[in-house]
Amino acid sequence: MKDKDGQPISDYEGQKKRWVKHFEELLNRPAPPDPPDIQPASSDLPIDCSTPTKKEIQNPIKQLRNGKAVAPDNIPAEVLKVDIRTNMELLYPLLNKIWEEERVPTE
């Protein structure tokens, strides 16, 4: 990482401060004087809002990275990938219920 003058920053604290400064400059700019005139789209995008299919559940399971916990439940990807079809069949009713009720169960 380099400072604004192109000099390398080797210490961790200096790098953190540089990132803070970078994002302050990037995100804290005044609004443009002449904002662009962007017209609304003439039609809606064709978005499928139907319940997830089994294939839509199975594909992301296949793509999970080994060695990482997938969520706060700490279920390793390897566990889900051992038997993708069975896990998909177990998850399918739960995910459809979540989709229909628009609420994630607390337990």
Model pLDDT for residues 3-51, shown as the tens digit of each residue: 889 999 999 999 999 999 999 999 998 888 998 899 999 999 999 889 9
- Residue 49 in any domain: the answer is no
Same domain? 23 vs 61? no
Predicted confidence (pLDDT) per residue in 60-85, tens digit: 999 998 987 667 778 888 999 999 99
> How many domains is the chain partitioned into structurally?
2
Structural domain includes residue 45: no
**pTM for this predicted structure:** 0.54
Domain that holds residue 22: 1-30
The reply to whether 60 falls in a domain is yes
DSSP assignments along the chain, one per residue: -B-TTS-B--SHHHHHHHHHHHHHHHH--PPPSS---PPPPSS------SPPPHHHHHHHHHHPPTTSB-STT--BHHHHHHTHHHHHHHHHHHHHHHHHHT-----
In a domain, 106, yes or no: no
Give a yes or no: residue 1 inside a domain. Answer: yes
Assess if residue 16 is contained within a domain: yes
- 13 in a structural domain: yes
